[in-house]
Amino acid sequence: MIDRTTLWIVIIGLGLGSFFLRFVFTGLVGNRPMPAWLLRHLRYTAVAVLPALVAPQVLWPAATGGEPDPARLAAAAAALSVGLITKNVLAAMLAGGVTLYGMLYLFL
Amino acid sequence: MATTTPKSAYLRGVVDGLPFILVIIPFATLFGLLAVEAGLNVIEALVFSLVVIAGAAQFTALQLMQEDAPTIIVLASALAVNLRMAMYSASLTPYIGSAPLWQRALAAYLTVDQSYMVSVAQFEKEPQMTVPQRIAYFFGAVTPVVPLWYIFTVVGAMLGSRVPDSWALDFALPITFLAMIAPMFRTLAHVVAAFVAVVVSLLAVGVPFSLGIIIAGVAGMVAGAQAELWLERRRELSQ
């Protein structure tokens, strides 16, 4: 059972901390120009951070106790390839979802 | 379709944000569900989602609190998972940095993976957008997502443990992120950035407090920037 004091410290601390992280540049730097080298790196924020976030979850999903799972691997591959081919986010998500449920249905 | 007024930019953002409904519903439901399993009540789960609105960080905090980790470790780990928000903030600054402070503050609260991603893609595609149009588009993109994040946290909390594991709701997030990333591979530099980030993240998976994600993210960004420089130099040479 989670201690109530801990819970509220975490909720409030995480709320304040997350807001600070989200506000630190837009709020404090504002419209001051940023150097070209920094902007060059920032252009790759999304394409670097998001794959880094999902790669371990795709290979070692927590739901299967960290064991690689064919259904989840296939779903990830389907979402990525349909996304690459169609450039359509919705189509890619549907491809991933259909593959995941299809595989789970066939093999469980 | 070119965006002209802030109102049409807002509507355009709403439309571009709509696909994320499919993600946010299972993801928020899953959070509500796990929160109740961890011993939170419906109100506590809702306040958690209202105050923090960051799924991955909330899951991390919940997990660690259940393992009786020290409060400071819970906070540090969850914030480390959210460090990418600071990178998002930095990357949004050239686009919306000159908006009024209250708009930037509200945009900061509403910065989630989906709103950031869809907005930056749009701002890059149409560099002629004005700042009010960009802000309007950003708020449009979060409109279909954020209210559902609150609502389905409550739904998940009320469903409790009635949802079986076989629904595989855990995988909604990876599928969405992959679907969102794929259309962003516009140049070789983007591909290099993603590839390096993935390799480093898999190697750094044992690094404590989820810091591996940040290390991998920075490595990917450096790789992308270097690839961009290299491609530019090669283009200049060939001319």
Residue B70, φ and ψ in degrees, nearest 5 = -60, 145
Q: Under an 8 A CB cutoff, do A48 and B220 touch?
A: yes
The Cα B18–Cα A38 span in angstroms is 32
Q: Are residues B157 and B222 in the same domain?
A: no
pLDDT for B2 beyond 70: no
**Chain B interface mutation, best of A14, A40, A86, A98, highest count of B Cβ atoms under 10 Å:** A14
Q: Do B48 and A51 touch (CB under 8 A)?
A: no
**∠ CA(A80), CA(B141), CA(A57), 5° rounding?**
35
Nearest to B119 by CA among B102, B99, B139, B97: B139
| pLDDT interval class at A76 (50, 70, 90) | very high
Size of interface A-B (CB pairs under 8 A): 287
Q: Give a yes or no: residue B107 inside a domain.
A: yes
pLDDT in tens, B146-156: 999 999 999 99
Cβ atoms B200, B219 nearer than 8 A: yes
- Kindly state whether residue B179 falls inside one of the protein's structural domains: no
More confident residue, B63 or B219: B219
Are residues B237 and B208 both part of a single domain? yes
- The rounded distance, in Å, linking the Cα atoms of A81 and A88 is 11
Same domain for B104 and B76: yes
Judging contacts by C-beta atoms under 8 Å, the chain B residues touching residue A31 are 97-98
- Whether B27 maps to a domain, the answer reads yes
Number of domains in chain A: 1
Chain B residues in contact with A9 by the CB 8 A cut-off are 71, 75
The nearest alpha carbon in chain B to A27 belongs to: B104
Among chain B residues, the shortest Cα distance to A13 is held by: B75
In-domain check, residue B157: yes
| Rounded CA separation B62/B220 (Å) | 29
Residues B131 and B200 in one domain: no
A95 lies in a domain? yes
Q: How close does chain B come to A66, measured CA to CA in Å?
A: 12
B190 and B91, same structural domain? Answer: no
pLDDT tens digits for range B169-188: 778 778 877 887 887 888 99
Checking if the pLDDT of A105 tops 80, the result is yes
- Please identify among residues 3-22 of chain A the ones whose CB lies closer than 8 Å to any CB of chain B: 6-7, 9-15, 17-19, 21-22
- Residue A41, CA distances (Å) to A47, B182, B190, B224, B226 in order: 11, 19, 11, 7, 9
Same domain for B123 and B195, yes or no, is: no
B contacts of A88 (beta carbons < 8 Å): 183
Say whether A27 and B181 touch across the interface (CB within 8 A).
Answer: no
Among candidates B165, B213, B224 on the partner chain, residue whose Cβ is nearest the Cβ of A43: B224
Q: Domain span at residue A100?
A: 48-107
Q: Do B115 and B203 share a domain, yes or no?
A: no
What mean pLDDT value characterizes chain A? 89
List of chain A residues whose C-beta atoms are within 8 Å of the C-beta of residue B111: 22
pLDDT of B161? 66
Cβ pair B152, B49 in contact under 8 A:
no
Count of residues making up chain A: 108
Please tell me the distance from the alpha carbon of residue A17 to that of residue B26, in angstroms, as a whole number.
Answer: 26
In a domain, B134, yes or no: yes
Are A9 and B55 in contact by the 8 Å Cβ rule? The answer is no
Tell me: do B196 and B84 sit in the same domain: no
B7 pLDDT higher than 60: yes
Whether residues B53 and B95 share a domain: the answer is: yes
> Could you tell me if B161 and B36 are in contact, meaning their C-beta atoms sit under 8 angstroms apart?
yes
Q: How far apart are CA B165 and CA B78, in angstroms?
A: 24
Residues B108, A22: contact at Cβ < 8 Å? yes
Residue A68 reports pLDDT greater than 80: yes
Q: Which domain holds residue B199?
A: 185-239
Residue A88: pLDDT above 70?
yes
Q: Both B68 and B115 in a single domain?
A: yes
| Same domain as B125, residue B20 | yes
Distance of alpha carbon B93 from alpha carbon B199, whole angstroms: 28
Of B216 and B27, the one with more pLDDT: B216
Cross-chain Cβ contact A13/B75 below 8 Å? yes
What's the domain count of chain B? 2
Give the pair of three-digit tokens for residue B218. 């920075």
Expressed in percent and rounded to 5, the helix, strand and coil fractions of chain A are 80, 0, 20
A40 CB within 8 Å of a chain B CB: yes
Asked whether the predicted pLDDT for residue A12 surpasses 90, the reply is yes
Q: How confident is the model at residue B206 (pLDDT cuts 50, 70, 90)?
A: confident
Q: What is the pLDDT of residue B3?
A: 52
